[in-house]
């Protein structure tokens, strides 16, 4: 997994470090035993690793039912729930953290998805969102390809994502990584 997650993700400081290995993220993630975390997207075995640390992990899986559920295969000790970001099947204020990797751009209605994230996240809960940056020419071409093929995928500029969540009472920062990816870390007020 070529995820770029940085070490210190305190939303009150500027984002500086980055890594190609998700293990570095796990070494410094701020969690408490018993926290509830929702994982969405290309998570690899992140759920299994977090679960071993005493965190309750729920994975939102959006693949068709006939497909093999890779989230379940790689994260056997986690809850795997079928659903979409636009209609999260969870109670209000259920999660301490929501981590979305390479998936926010794939939502059909990103405004509805952000409202749902806000609904299920506890007060002072954290959102960690990483995705492709539309400022990159390769990503712009990919976006154009999806539009021409009629797919319901829309890439977003990092500042647009930060503005969207700030309207929902999130306080956070965006870090652009080599103009190819961005990471948004926000804390719900």
pLDDT by residue for the chain (189 residues), tens only, comes to 344 443 333 333 333 334 344 445 555 567 778 899 999 988 888 888 888 888 999 999 876 655 556 666 677 788 889 899 999 999 999 999 999 998 998 888 889 999 999 999 999 999 999 999 999 989 889 888 988 998 878 888 999 999 999 999 999 999 888 788 899 999 999
Q: How far apart are CA 147 and CA 109, in angstroms?
A: 15
- Confidence at residue 114, expressed as pLDDT on a 0 to 100 scale: 95
- Confidence at residue 18, expressed as pLDDT on a 0 to 100 scale: 40
- Confidence at residue 154, expressed as pLDDT on a 0 to 100 scale: 81
Q: Up-side HSE of residue 82: CA atoms within 13 Å toward CB?
A: 7
CB neighbours (10 Å) of residue 115?
Answer: 15
- Confidence at residue 6, expressed as pLDDT on a 0 to 100 scale: 34
CA distances from 150 to 62, 102, 144 (A): 19, 20, 10
Question: What are the b/e assignments for 28-63, b being 16+ CB within 10 Å?
Answer: ebeeeeebbbbbbbbbbbbbebbbeeebbbbbbbee
Pairing of strands 121-132, 170-177: unpaired
Contact 34, 56 (CB under 8 A): yes
Three-state DSSP class for residue 83: coil
Question: Which residues of 62-166 form beta strands (DSSP E)?
Answer: 79-82, 95-101, 121-132
């Amino acid at each position: 997994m070529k995820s770029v997650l940085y070490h210190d993700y305190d939303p009150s400081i500027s984002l500086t470090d980055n890594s190609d290995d998700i293990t570095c993220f796990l070494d410094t993630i701020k969690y408490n035993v018993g926290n509830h975390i929702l994982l969405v997207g290309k998570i690899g075995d992140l759920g299994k690793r977090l679960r071993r640390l005493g965190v309750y992990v729920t994975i939102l899986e959006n693949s068709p039912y006939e497909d093999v559920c890779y989230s379940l295969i790689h994260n056997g000790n986690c809850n795997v729930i079928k659903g979409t970001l636009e209609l999260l099947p969870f109670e209000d204020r259920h999660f301490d953290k929501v981590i979305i990797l390479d998936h926010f751009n794939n939502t059909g209605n990103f405004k509805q998805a952000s409202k749902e994230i806000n609904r299920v996240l506890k007060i002072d809960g954290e959102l960690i969102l990483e995705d492709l940056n539309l400022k990159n020419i390769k990503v712009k071409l990919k976006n154009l390809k999806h539009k021409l093929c009629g797919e319901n995928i829309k890439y977003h500029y990092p500042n647009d994502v930060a503005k969207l969540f700030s309207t929902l009472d999130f306080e956070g920062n965006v870090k652009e990584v080599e103009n190819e990816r961005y990471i948004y870390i926000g804390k719900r007020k």
